């Protein structure tokens, strides 16, 4: 039962529970009209203490397309946080007004802590450099739509694997499936955090390689997950400038990829994918953003116990 549960980390739900969400997500993609009144009378609160375009707007659009309504704030400065209110008090208050909430916060663990103070479902919409489970839902729905299932595939992750929370959540999710393999492409300084390497990848016995070049590995990949270097998490600007353009996917590099290697990116993109790649049918990042809305519709319906 997913009713009244919170989604803070990919390990909060079982494989079977995620399956329910994806199955509903695929049904919504096929017939969105059917669900257009499902959330009438329900309110979603979006509590965003950090910038966002897709995540916040896709959550809000998801609720509106389900016939529900939305309240919230898009920066901490416009909430009572600016007056010194604690997260616990803000959440207790929001619970008086809304039925479900999505929260993004710069501090790792903030949504988990917040979930302990309330009874309504809370969704982690990204906590610092830690996790971003609904981006993973987006990624998985996209992978299933393109290739049927997630099993028995080689996934390349490229860019900022250290601070990229979307990478951490997706690796955590995929590590529960058979036949997956990871090629982790990054500068040495931006490799995945130790807890992901040791407690997720190695513990689950997933074959992986950590490399610092793209071209030699392109031909092995089923999916290449590109990511932006996370400027806001760097301690100094010089390191950011030195590392930000290390990996740029362009037409020339795409020529090493197979015809069935799909390119994903959680977006926003900075320089890491040249715009000349956008017209390539293997570039799926804008479709991915659209899938994010559908899968969030499914998640809201499940956590509210409507489907």
Instruction: Report the chain's terminal Cα–Cα distance, integer Å.
Output: 10
Our CB check for ligand NCD shows the closer of 160 and 222 to be 160
Length of the chain: 307
112 and 269 in contact (C-beta within 8 Å)?
A: no
Q: Kindly state whether residue 165 participates in binding ligand NCD, applying the rule CB under 6 A.
A: yes
Positive or negative torsion for Cα 203, 209, 214, 215:
negative
Residue 111 or 126: which CB sits closer to ligand NCD? 126
The yes or no reply on residue 266 touching ligand NCD (CB under 6 A) is yes
Interface residues for ligand NCD in 109-138 (CB under 6 A)?
Answer: 126, 132, 135
Shorter beta-carbon distance to ligand NCD: residue 154 or 227: 227
Residue (8 or 267) nearer to ligand NCD, CB: 267
Q: Kindly list the distances between the CA atom of residue 304 and the CA atoms of 9, 31, 63, 220, 245, in Å, as whole numbers in the listed order.
A: 18, 20, 12, 41, 43
Q: Minimal distance in Å, beta carbon 244 to ligand NCD?
A: 12
CB of 246 to ligand NCD, least distance (A): 15
Smallest distance, Å, CB 145 to ligand NCD?
18
CA dihedral 233, 237, 241, 247 (to 10 degrees): -10
- Span of 17-25, 110-118, 260-268, 298-306 interacting with ligand NCD by CB under 6 A: 260-268
Q: Between 42 and 293, name the residue whose CB sits nearer to ligand NCD.
A: 293
Produce one character per residue of 215-230: b if its CB has 16 or more CB atoms within 10 Å, e if not.
Answer: eebbeebbbbbbbbbb
Name the site residues for ligand NCD (rule: CB under 6 A): 54-55, 126, 132, 135, 165-166, 227-228, 266-268
């Amino acid at each position: 039962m997913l009713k009244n549960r919170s989604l803070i980390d990919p390990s909060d739900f079982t494989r079977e529970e995620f399956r329910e969400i994806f199955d509903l997500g695929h049904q919504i993609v096929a017939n969105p009209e059917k669900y257009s009144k499902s959330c009438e009378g329900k309110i979603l609160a979006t509590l965003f203490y950090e910038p966002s375009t897709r995540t916040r707007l896709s959550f809000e659009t998801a609720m509106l397309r389900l016939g529900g309504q939305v309240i919230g704030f898009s920066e901490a400065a416009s909430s009572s946080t600016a007056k010194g209110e604690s997260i616990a008090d803000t959440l207790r208050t929001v619970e008086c007004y809304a039925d479900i909430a999505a929260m993004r916060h710069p501090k790792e663990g903030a949504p988990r802590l917040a979930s302990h103070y309330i009874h309504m479902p809370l969704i982690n919409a990204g906590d610092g450099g830690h996790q971003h489970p609904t981006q993973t839902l987006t990624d998985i729905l996209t992978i299933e739509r393109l290739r049927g299932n997630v099993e028995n595939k080689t996934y390349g992750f490229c860019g900022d694997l250290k601070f990229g929370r979307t990478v951490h959540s997706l690796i955590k999710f995929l590590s529960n499936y058979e036949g997956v393999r990871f090629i982790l492409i990054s500068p040495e300084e931006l490799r995945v955090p130790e807890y992901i390497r040791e407690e997720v990848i190695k513990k689950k016995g997933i074959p992986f390689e950590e490399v610092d070049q793209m071209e030699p590995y392109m031909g092995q990949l089923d999916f290449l997950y590109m990511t932006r270097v996370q400027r806001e998490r760097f301690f100094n600007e010089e390191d950011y400038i030195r590392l930000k353009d290390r990996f740029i996917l362009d037409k020339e590099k795409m020529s090493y990829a197979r015809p069935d290697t799909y390119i994903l990116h959680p977006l926003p993109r900075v320089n890491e994918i040249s715009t000349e790649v956008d017209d390539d049918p293997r570039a799926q990042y804008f479709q991915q953003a659209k899938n994010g809305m559908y899968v969030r519709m499914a998640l809201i319906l499940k956590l509210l116990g409507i489907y």
